[in-house]
Amino acid sequence: MSLAKSRYEAERWLRTAEEDLHAARVLLEAQQHAQSCFYSQQSGEKAVKALWYLIDVDPWGHSVQKLIIDFPRKNDLPDLEKWISWGALLDKFYIPTRYPNGLPDLTPGQVYTREDALHGQEAAQALIAGCRAWMDSAK
């Protein structure tokens, strides 16, 4: 893929990550904490995938942490350990926020709290900002 096409695809993924973070915020205001957590996870996943598309490599999987660890140019990322930590937090929101069989005897709405949603949004926002900065420096 050409550099222009790679950047275009990366921008589409990062823009969608920003839209998902907006949805997470709306869901938090509606007190839908589990759903807010899930959208934060989606936001972080798509932000990191944007970096993969920028360097013209297809990402695989849904683990934000693994996408960061396996990123071919991870040594170019600032504060890699923080990125991995944000990814690990968001990964906890991928399945159990959506399925009652991911939790023992409870529903996601009973388990996830406002604080969980806020932490998820902070991690997603940090990843979006870091990905945006990385993409801007790669021009």
Residue 117 near residue 23, CB atoms below 8 Å: no
The CA angle 34-40-44, to the nearest 5 degrees, is 150
d(CA 117, CA 21): 11
Helix ranges (H only) for 30-79 are: 33-54, 64-69
pLDDT surpassing 80 at residue 139: no
Mean pLDDT of 60-67: 97
> pTM of this prediction?
0.96
Q: Please indicate whether residue 103 or residue 80 has the higher confidence score (pLDDT).
A: 80
- pLDDT at position 138: 84
Q: Where are the domains of the chain?
A: 3-137
Q: At what angle do helices 114-137 and 3-29 cross, to 10 degrees?
A: 160
Assign domain 3-137 to its CATH architecture.
Up-down Bundle (1.20)
pLDDT surpassing 80 at residue 23: yes
- Please state, rounded to an integer, the average pLDDT across all residues of the chain: 96
- pLDDT at position 16: 98
